[in-house]
Amino acid sequence: MKRLRPAYDFNASDIALTNFSMGEQLTYAQLAIAISDIHKLLCNKGVKKGDNVLVTNNGTPNWVMRLAGIVTYGTVAVVVPNNITGYERDRIIAENDVVLDFDNISTESMSEDQPIDIDIFSFSLKDNIIVDYTYNEFGYLASTTTKVYEFMQLAEDIKRRYMKIRHSRTPSMLLANKECMNAKEILASLSIGAHITLAGTNPTSGTLLKCMKKYRPHFVHLDTKTAEALIRNRVFPMMYNPEMKNYMTSSHARRTMLKQIRKRMMFALGGCILIVSVTGGRFSPDIEQFLQKIEFPYNIM
């Protein structure tokens, strides 16, 4: 069983990754070539199936290429935040018996050859696939280990959610986080041939809104602070008229108003959102009450 469907099974010209802030795009054909090159690099370094390989999550397409290459080779990706200290990095390397720090390997010279069919090993459902380190709300590093069966369930869940509504477009996902991107969400999306837009690790609310309007994502992953800034700075000003006296309207008028607010908000965010997943804790009471009132599709992870 393969952990990821080979990238070159999809239409070669389909866009796999977009870096909005840099204006860069990567097709599935280019991603497949990069993955093949990474497999060769790992093989030349003597890395074997089940070994732990460290890679820094800097929220760029280059990081995604490395992550996909490490995982499809059969090794475990130990993912660390971009702002990790040297002491924390050394401790994680020692704790996880990391055999290779991939950040010290250059992948600038990618080959122009066609992707080759790498003989990927078979895997057990209980094999580890990612050990993801992130800072919790108290500022401490915490790790989450994802196994093969959990990854497969996530990929199927994304596909199932998308298939509930008919679309002619490719599934689209946008990720933006002040700390780091969600590694397993990215890999699961790639495994179903989705178009992933990376808005950066610290996007402004204006940049994020432009990004959503342009690429019209179906799934959006944000941290709480980024989502709240977007709502307060960009959504609320479009929704509310400070001169409107809400207490003077009837219940029917209020319901109609809430429906219109929801419609305008969905349109402002691209018009195709199926769900927004939020990490980093619950929203502020006023934001949470607003989203619940208009029945906005979101969940706290």
114: pLDDT confidence band, cut at 50, 70 and 90?
very low
Q: For residue 7, what pLDDT is reported?
A: 44
CA nearest neighbour of 266 among 237, 291, 285: 291
Q: For residue 252, what pLDDT is reported?
A: 67
* DSSP code string of 172-228: EEEEE-SS---HHHHHHHHHTT-EEEE--SS--HHHHHHHHHHH--SEEEEEHHHHH
Q: Are 235 and 212 in contact (CB under 8 A)?
A: no
Span 248-278, pLDDT tens digits:
456 667 778 788 888 888 888 888 888 888 8
Span 180-213, pLDDT tens digits:
667 888 888 888 788 888 887 678 888 888 888 8
Tokens of 133: 């380190």
Tokens of 301: 């992870």
Q: Phi/psi of residue 95, each to 5°?
A: -65, -35
Helix, strand or coil, per DSSP, at residue 284: coil
All residues at 6 or more sequence positions from 154 whose CB lies less than 8 Å from its CB, including other chains: 184, 185, 188
The b-or-e profile of 224-243 (16+ CB within 10 A means b, else e) is bebbbbbbeebbeeebeeee
Model confidence, pTM: 0.77
pLDDT cut 70: percent of the chain above it: 81
Q: For residue 88, what pLDDT is reported?
A: 92
Q: For residue 122, what pLDDT is reported?
A: 53
Q: Report the alpha-carbon distance of residue 93 to residue 32 in Å, rounded.
A: 28
Span 51-75, pLDDT tens digits:
999 999 887 888 888 998 998 888 9
- For the ranges 28-42, 77-91, 145-159, 166-180, the lowest mean pLDDT is seen at 166-180
pLDDT (mean) for 203-226: 86
121: pLDDT confidence band, cut at 50, 70 and 90?
very low
